[in-house]
Chain A
């Protein structure tokens, strides 16, 4: 956007502008579902009409990381897959957020073994964790609202203004 609101400091205009941009951002999240395992079923349930994730402005999955700003890591990530996850994350443009969906993505779950990444936060930064194996759709929506809160309260800096 080429806006440098940091230079406006805490001025009235700067603050209001930040609020407006954050407000717009939090209601237009384009997700990239990185779905690897059983948690995907709950993700689909959340995305479909019954729970209707579009009420939160995040209904459109993009299957190219370049078109997405929210990475949903859904399921078990193995060490063999880890480089792919990292690459997908790095291909996304700033500003970007990551949700770790379920016990496996957050901590490796019960796969405390030779092949499973013990939490994706060991390889990429994570904004919101959703507990559960798998999480209920309500928990996913709760996480989405937490993320929106985080986005609304974010300070714009060079990185996030892009």
Chain B
């Protein structure tokens, strides 16, 4: 069913699509970052697509496995039409920025802050670009695969003779 979505996207943004694939009926579109906001707006506002539910936004870290290192993943659903689509946007480690989708779906506000907090992806144009789970002053982004697994950043002094 979401083949229709893939088809519409391919027609409208032929130069923005890097790849498409499907797995057991789940369609994925891999996109360039350049016109991402335009693509997202199209998905939301086009009458035939009407993706009104931002389901999930997350990041995959392909450290030492794939280049570019990160993939920002969007899961969208259309309540009215029943379409479901997954978008992936590869970004480089040195340039880990994507445009914020906050202006398209307010629901992605906290997701983007979480992705920044844990993966260190910046969302250009986010109105409140701060950490959401960890505290200010936390160093690094712990879900990155190169974050040392035993590294602790306690906020409280430990009792004598105790260690983390």
Which residues of chain A have a CB within 8 Å of any CB of chain B? 79-80, 82-83, 86, 113-115, 117-118, 121-125
Contacts and interface: CB of A to CB of B under 8 A. Distances in A.
Contact of A80 (B135, B142, B162, B164): B135
Secondary structure class of chain A's binding surface, majority of residues: loop
Residue from B147, B149, B156, B162 whose CB has the most chain A CB atoms within 10 Å: B156
B7 interface: no
A64 B149 CA distance: 37
B152 A86 contact: no
Q: Closest 8 CB pairs between A and B?
A: A114-B142, A122-B162, A82-B156, A122-B158, A123-B156, A83-B156, A79-B155, A86-B156
A82 B46 CA distance: 48
A80 B134 contact: yes
Interface of B: 133-135, 142, 147, 149, 151-159, 162-164
B155 A115 contact: no
Contacts of B134: 80, 115
Nearest to B163: A122
A40 B148 CA distance: 31
A122 B164 contact: yes
Contacts of B153: 79, 114
Nearest to B156: A82
A62 to B, nearest CB: 23
Contacts of A123: 156-159, 162
A114 B162 CA distance: 17
B154 A117 contact: yes
Contact of A79 (B147, B152, B159, B162): B152
Nearest to B150: A112
Contact of A114 (B152, B155, B156, B158): B152
Given A83-B156, A122-B162, 14 more contacts: A79-B153, A80-B135, A82-B156, A83-B155, A114-B147, A114-B152, A115-B133, A117-B154, A118-B152, A118-B164, A123-B157, A123-B158, A123-B162, A125-B159
B132 to A, nearest CB: 12
Nearest to A81: B155
Nearest to B140: A114
Contacts of A122: 158-159, 162-164
Residue from A79, A114, A121 whose CB has the most chain B CB atoms within 10 Å: A114
Contacts of B151: 114
Contacts of B152: 79, 114, 118
Contacts of B162: 121-123
B142 A115 contact: yes
Contacts of B163: 122
A24 B142 CA distance: 49
B126 to A, nearest CB: 22
B162 to A, nearest CB: 4
A80 B155 contact: yes
Contacts of A82: 154-156
Contacts of B164: 118, 122
